[in-house]
Amino acid sequence: MRIVQISDTHLSPGKAHFAKNWPPLAAWVAAQNPDLVIHTGDVTVDGADAEEDLQHASELMQALGVRVLAVPGNHDVGDAGHPAQPVSDERLARWRAHFGPDRWIEDVEGFRLVGLDAMLLGSDDHEEAAQAAWLDVAMREARGRQIAWFLHRPLFLDSPDEGDTGYWSVKPGPRARLMDLVRRYSVSLVASGHLHKAHQMRRDGTRYLWAPASSFLVGSGIQPRMPGEKRLGAVLYELDGAVLEASIADVPGLSPYWIDDVIDEVYPRPSDSRPAPN
């Protein structure tokens, strides 16, 4: 079983700044001949407010001719506690209309793959509680399968015990609850996007993998120091029984755009708040 993970495509028909990176990515995906594609969010430039972005990106995914499972990013459905774009029932309904459920389970080989909506974490939205209850059942009923999680925002940057990293990782409260599940069920893999950096690390037997974006990189004026490598690409997984191999891959033909050069056009700053580039 071969799975390709792509992330942070940031697609939009109106803001086509990174559109030229889609054809090489689509060609690379086709060349891998995968059984499944998993997109870990920020599919769109601004699906949270622009439905045409969701429509456009969904059409591109369907044109891959491969089954795609996706989890939303902050630019697709908004974010917990965001002053201008909070995650909401309306935004989630739009996502689901174009991409299907924002949380899902897929049992393949000896694995249970679990897609999580990281944008609900810390929102106190009724959907956050519903997802937590659903996840408890999903874990309990994995019945001896290895478990791999896919979500947009990483659980942490350096350590599960670190404090609040703000925009960049899951808040300490919801993180602690998820880490409890990671440890209790010996989760094999936690794969994420959002940071536009590639990285792999192991903690207590769990592999944490940050998938690179295919759209753009983020300069040090916007993104603080953290682990990982500023490169574009995708991730290739081979699953065989209970064994999973993961490799971060270069994708030929991707142009290394920097968001710093176009942030005022792509993500114009509301008059009194910081931009949210990733």
Binding site for Fe ion (CB under 5 A): 8, 42, 73-74, 194, 278
56 exposure class (CB count in 10 Å sphere: 0-12, 13-18, 19+): buried
Largest CA distance in the chain: 53
What Å distances lie between residue 184 and 117, 178, 181, CA to CA?
20, 10, 5
- Taking the complex as a whole, the smallest distance from the CB of residue 278 to Fe ion amounts, in Å, to 4
Percent of residues in the chain assigned helix, strand, coil, to nearest 5: 30, 25, 50
- Taking the complex as a whole, the smallest distance from the CB of residue 277 to Fe ion amounts, in Å, to 7
| Position of minimal CB gap to Fe ion | 42
Measure the CA–CA gap between 226 and 101, rounded to whole angstroms: 31
- Taking the complex as a whole, the smallest distance from the CB of residue 75 to Fe ion amounts, in Å, to 6
Q: Whose Cβ is closer to Fe ion: residue 15's or residue 112's?
A: 15
Helix axes of 89-99 and 51-62: crossing angle, nearest 10 degrees: 20
Concatenating the DSSP letter of every residue in 233-249 gives -EEEEEEETTEEEEEEE
Measure the CA–CA gap between 63 and 12, rounded to whole angstroms: 16
- Taking the complex as a whole, the smallest distance from the CB of residue 22 to Fe ion amounts, in Å, to 14
Compute and round to an integer the Cα radius of gyration of the chain. 17
- Taking the complex as a whole, the smallest distance from the CB of residue 47 to Fe ion amounts, in Å, to 12
For 144, the token pair is 């001896």
- Taking the complex as a whole, the smallest distance from the CB of residue 36 to Fe ion amounts, in Å, to 21
110 exposure class (CB count in 10 Å sphere: 0-12, 13-18, 19+): middle
Q: Whose Cβ is closer to Fe ion: residue 105's or residue 276's?
A: 276
Q: Whose Cβ is closer to Fe ion: residue 28's or residue 267's?
A: 267
- Taking the complex as a whole, the smallest distance from the CB of residue 194 to Fe ion amounts, in Å, to 4
Torsion of CA 137, 236, 156, 170, to 10 degrees: -60
Q: Whose Cβ is closer to Fe ion: residue 98's or residue 194's?
A: 194
Q: Whose Cβ is closer to Fe ion: residue 85's or residue 131's?
A: 85
